[in-house]
Amino acid sequence: MNSTATNAAMVTLLLLTASRIVVFNTFFEKFRKLENNKPKFETSSKTSDGHSLSLLLSLADTKNGERRVRCGGSLVSGRYVLTAAQCVAPSYIRGRKLTHVTLGDWRLSTDPDCSDNVCAPERLSVLVEEVVVHPGFNTPSRLNNDIALIRLQSEVNFNRFIQPICLPPTNFGSSEVSVNQTVVAVGWGDTVTGDASDVLKEVRLNIAEPSVCKRVYSSNFQLNGAHMCIGGGLEDTCFGDSGGPVMKLNKDQRSYVLAITSFGAPNCGTPGQPSVYTSVAHFNDWIRQSMKS
């Protein structure tokens, strides 16, 4: 996580076999202390009720066992993960099949994750039952309707480190967000070094004027409410963060997923060039209709 969000080329997965999805629930606050060389992005997000609710998804190359972060996602119920369509659409992953979701990860290189002799449970693997890509994905313009759901084969048992994040309220209105409001994006994407992060990173961004993204991205940015324009400074999301959540607190001070990281400028963190995010509230009806009981 270093600058702008991924575009299509970044999420064309270099997988030779079926890939695995790794979903992460952001770890508790004390894990910030593990990073001696403090990056400009924080490493955790915690809500006021004591639970870390944001979850992330990444893809792994199962041929050589190496886990390579490609995308993010959010656990929104015991059976469903919300992500970007570009992360799972067959045309973008070259026909490979996503087989597993793994929950409870924070540092990709360790399992379990520990701090001060306190450890989370080992990461949990759950089979994928179905992938539901929005039927309007990539129409009328590239990466429009960039949203998808992943249905898990079995119900997830929640614990301190694995919790779903709320969807926007059904009565979500324009008054819920405003320009210059601060939101939080998380991911394992590229950092200032140009390499993907081993630990989950967090960045605080401001909501930008839609007209700025319209100027930068022209017809690829939709003014119908499907897209949100966020960021525009040196700190931003980057390659590998697509599909991950942008979070905001609701009136009850609980985190909800406001948007999904979609795409941005070729050079991450270019001043004056915010990234484009899929507005989750715009797709509230589609999400609820697509989630089976």
* Secondary structure (DSSP) of 106-165: SBTT-SS-EETTEEPPPPEEEEEEEEEE-TTTT-SSTTTT--EEEEESS----BTTB-PP
Instruction: Label residue 61 by pLDDT band (50, 70, 90).
Output: very low
Instruction: Tell me the whole-structure pTM to 2 decimals.
Output: 0.81
Q: Which two tokens stand for residue 248?
A: 């905001």
Is 104 or 47 the better-scoring residue by pLDDT?
104
CA-to-CA distance for 4 and 272, rounded, in angstroms? Answer: 11
Taking CA atoms, 287 is separated from 29, 102, 210, 271, in Å, by 30, 22, 24, 33
Q: Which two tokens stand for residue 207?
A: 């909501």
For the segment 209-223, what is each residue's pLDDT rounded down to a tens digit? 999 999 999 999 999
Domain boundaries, the chain: 1-293
- Other C-beta atoms closer than 10 Å to the C-beta of 102 total 20
pLDDT value, residue 96: 65
pLDDT value, residue 66: 53
Which architecture does CATH list for 1-293?
Answer: Beta Barrel (2.40)
| 20-29, 79-88, 99-108, 169-178: least confidently modelled range | 20-29
Is 41 or 237 the better-scoring residue by pLDDT?
237
Size of the chain in residues: 293
